Amino acid sequence: MKKIALVTDSTADLTPELKEKLNVHVIPLKVRFSQDEFRDGELTPAEFYHRLANSEKLPQSSQPSPSEFEELYRKLLTDHDAIISIHLSSGLSGTLNAANLAKAELSKEIHVLDSKNISLGIGLLVREAARLIAEEHPLPQIIAELKAIREKIVTLFTLDTLEYLHKGGRIGKVPNLLGSFLKVKPIVRVNKEGIYVLQGVARSQDRAIKSIVHAFQELAGSRKPTAFFIAHGAAEAAGERLKSALEETFQMQAAAFTQVGPVIGVHTGPGTLGAAMLFA
């Protein structure tokens, strides 16, 4: 049986406990405030959102270089037969391309997979990859199953404003509503291509939470959820309300509750609430 290493990037927003439990190797993206550059993880979420609120210019995020991926892959291949590397949607970042460039430099068995998702949506896919590896399924079967599972993950989030997505150039297929609505809470979904699309709008945070729950019910159809993750950006109390609402509606406990990290937070801003749900 092949010994398989699991890799993801820091935009999966996995808690330290989950990283250890899943035995996943995380390559960090970076965020730059003027002349100060930080690897994801060097700033706590609280420190990041404080800086974001007090920064005159929107910080910039950047992906790992191919050489950084190559260094990690070489290290892992000294005691693993293969690597599964799952990353942020190629529709939103060049991270996947950097991983593929590193793969091309090595002759070993490296499988780079586009999550077609962000944040907790990536995290759910990584969680399933860890399960399949632990169950010692053949590598081709693991890859095939992950591609199928990827299509069953739905990620929804609400923002205080579209300002950060717009300024960061990550608006995707979401119309810029800034000039059309005041105090609107856009509800955004990651579509099958891994691009942001507008799911709906709400006039308050509580209504946005109800809308997210309702959207999950509609998108579920006849399917049953098997797991879901919750994340927030400097909005813990609201995150707890979303968590409670989803737990009550679907009669299951959240598998993770975490904060949106700096690299995703650059584009979503404070006040973000989101959930990713895996359906059977």
Sketch out the chain's domains with CATH numbers.
4-150 (3.40.50.10170), 153-279 (3.30.1180.10)
- In angstroms, the CA 276 to CA 126 distance is 12
At residue 1, the pLDDT reads 78
CB 266, CB 52: distance < 8 Å = yes
pLDDT at residue 168 is higher than 90: no
| Buried residues in 125-148 as b, exposed as e (16+ CB within 10 A) | bbbbbbebbeeebebeebbeebee
Percent of the chain at pLDDT > 90 equals: 81
Average pLDDT over residues 101-106: 96
pLDDT (0 to 100) of residue 227 = 98
Regarding predicted confidence, which is higher, 166 or 274?
274
Cα 30 → chain centroid? 15
Pairwise CA distance, residues 206 & 170, whole Å? 25
Which residue from 122, 25, 134 is spatially nearest to 75, judged by alpha carbons?
A: 25
Task: Pull the structure tokens for residue 234.
Answer: 């400097």
The verdict on pTM exceeding 0.75 is yes
pLDDT in tens, 171-207: 555 555 444 445 689 899 999 999 988 899 999 999 9
Query: What pLDDT, in 10s, does the model give residues 72-93?
Result: 999 999 999 999 999 999 999 9
Could you tell me the pLDDT band of residue 164, with boundaries at 50, 70 and 90?
confident
What is the chain's alpha carbon radius of gyration, rounded to the nearest angstrom? 18
Rounded to an integer, the average pLDDT of 121-131 is 98
What is the distance between the alpha carbons of residues 32 and 48, in angstroms, rounded to a whole number? Answer: 11
Structure confidence by residue, pLDDT tens digits, 20-49 = 999 999 999 999 998 899 999 999 888 999
Q: Tens digit of pLDDT for each residue in 255-270?
A: 999 999 999 999 899 9
pLDDT at residue 176, as a whole number: 54
